[in-house]
Every structure is written in C-alpha cells, then in structure tokens.
C-alpha cells in the first residue's frame, strides 16, 4: 500500500505552490489510469475541475464528478479507477506545521461522508482563485481562507448540537422549494427563536444565505459541463434570472461563473 507524502498525487502535476504548510496543486490524470491502493499523509481537500473517476474504499464505490468537492482524512486507504479523459483536480493540503502554528484541528474523518460538503466547496473555489491569480496578496488570502475553512469544520463537528446536523440535511433535501422559518421550525420541532439565534453561530451565516450557497453548489457541475447557458443554469438552480445568479455567485465564491468555467 502506497503512502503519498506532502504534495504527492497519482497524476501529473500541472502547477503547485507550497508555503507556510499549505500546498495547492493542479493535477492532470491520463484517461483510464488505475491507481495503486494508497492513502495520504496529510489532510487535504479536492475539487474536481474536469472529468472524474470511480473511487473505491473499503465498503463503498463512488463516481466522482466534475464540479464537486471532497475531503480526505489522512491514512484512509482508497483506490481510483476509470479516470475520464481530461480529468483535472485542484488539491488543497495542510501539513502538521500549518495546523500547529494556528492551533487547528484536522477535520474529522466523518467529514468525508457528510451530506453536502458546502464549507469545502465555497472555500476551495476561493482558494483556487487565489492559486491561479498568484499576486502579492494571494499567500495572505490563502492563509486566511484556509483558517476559515478548517475552523468552520471544527465548529460544526465538535460544538454543534444534534439539531444542527438535522437542519443541515433538511436544507439540502429541500433546497429547491420555498421555505419559511415557521415551516422549518415545525419540521425540526424547534422554536423559531432558537433556530434564528444559534444557526449563524454554527454555520457562520443566515439560513437564507446557506440556501443560496447550496444553490451555488448545485450549479458548479453544470458550469463545468458547459452544456447549459448561464441563464439555463440560473433557472434550474432557482435563481430569479442570470444577473441574480452571477451576483450571488460572485458574492460567495469571489469570482464569476465564467471565471470559474475558464479555470
């Protein structure tokens, strides 16, 4: 079994940046590659820009598709097969030095399997934008965004009450229908004031913004596939029109849908 050390991946490196314990990589994979069974030394997040593969773990097999984000806990053994032609994956990796310097915890193994990795998707796209921008402020920006990314996962996992996980799943299951605070409180069997007061504490935003982020997350695979216009994507993801979609996307991702599509 192969253990991949810091900055090492199965595919071919297109670009890589390493600083202060943060490693960002753009990796290209040839069609049809079958990897050895392997694990990673450090925790890392991946965002599939193009293509994808089938990932096999001990008890499951999943198709990974473009526009989606993944988290890998260190030491988890897996294998990837059937890479699609043109597969590119952006990786964000953290060494022990970075985690120790800022007193951060490794995101829990359960984050690999949680329903919706919204915190990873939004943060990764922002950090990815800085990776490709690569100006004088990019290192500072990536450090701050990385801390926010890791802090968010710790807050929800280590501090959140049980209803936090229930409401997260509920919002992902009902993202495409109109929701009211009273309806959510009835379904969760919680007082509206409790939800209003504590939801931002654990998720860092209002329920309305959380739903907007889910819609953006749903749009990412559509943007990468380039099979639909932005107007069609906006309609399919529940935005009023293309202008509203672009404005909301840039607010949360830091770049426009067209900029993301060109990466």
Average pLDDT, the chain: 91
**176-202 tens-digit pLDDT:** 999 999 999 999 999 999 999 999 888
| Domain count within the chain | 2
165 shares a domain with 150: no
pLDDT at 164: 87
Task: Quickly count: other Cβ atoms within 10 Å of residue 224's Cβ.
Answer: 22
pLDDT at 111: 77
Residue whose C-alpha is closest to residue 202's, from 245, 236, 163: 163
165 shares a domain with 52: no
Query: What's the rounded Cα separation, in Å, for the pair 113 and 172?
Result: 14
17 shares a domain with 128: yes
The 3 state secondary structure assigned to 233-248 is HHHHCCCCCHHHHHHH
Look at residue 158 and tell me whether its pLDDT is greater than 60.
Answer: no
Look at residue 116 and tell me whether its pLDDT is greater than 50.
Answer: no
119 shares a domain with 170: no
Q: Which domain holds residue 29?
A: 2-156
178 shares a domain with 150: no
141 shares a domain with 247: no
Mean pLDDT value of segment 212-217:
94
**85-115 tens-digit pLDDT:** 999 999 999 999 999 999 999 988 877 766 5
User: Which CATH number characterizes residue 150's domain?
Assistant: 2.60.120.10
Mean pLDDT value of segment 51-70:
91
103 shares a domain with 52: yes
Domain end (from 105, 129, 156): 156
**How many angstroms separate the Cα of 187 from the Cα of each of 38, 167, 179?**
42, 9, 11
User: Which CATH number characterizes residue 245's domain?
Assistant: 1.10.10.60
201 shares a domain with 132: no
């Amino acid at each position: 079994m192969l253990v991949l050390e810091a900055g090492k991946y199965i595919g071919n490196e297109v670009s890589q940046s390493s600083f202060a314990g943060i490693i960002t990589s753009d990796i290209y994979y040839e069609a049809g590659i079958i990897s050895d069974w392997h694990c990673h030394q450090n925790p890392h997040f991946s965002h599939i820009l193009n293509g994808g593969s089938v990932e096999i773990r001990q008890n499951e097999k999943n198709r990974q598709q473009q526009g989606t984000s993944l988290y890998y806990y260190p030491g988890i053994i897996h294998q990837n097969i059937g890479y699609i032609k043109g597969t590119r994956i952006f990786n964000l990796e953290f060494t022990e030095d970075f985690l120790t310097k800022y007193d951060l915890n490794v995101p829990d193994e359960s984050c690999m399997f949680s329903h919706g990795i919204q915190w990873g998707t939004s943060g990764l796209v922002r950090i990815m934008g800085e990776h490709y921008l690569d100006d004088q402020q990019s290192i500072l920006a990536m450090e701050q965004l990385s801390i926010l990314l890791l802090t968010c996962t710790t807050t929800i996992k280590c501090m959140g009450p049980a209803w936090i996980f229930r409401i997260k799943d509920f919002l992902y299951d009902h993202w495409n229908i109109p929701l009211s605070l009273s309806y959510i409180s009835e379904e969760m069997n919680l007082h509206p004031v409790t939800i209003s007061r504590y939801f931002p504490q654990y998720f860092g935003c209002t329920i309305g913004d959380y739903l907007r982020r889910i819609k953006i997350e749903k749009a990412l695979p559509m943007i990468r596939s380039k099979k639909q216009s932005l107007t069609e994507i906006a309609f399919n993801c529940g935005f009023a029109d293309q202008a509203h979609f672009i404005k909301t996307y840039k607010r949360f991702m830091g770049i426009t849908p067209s900029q993301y599509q060109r990466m």
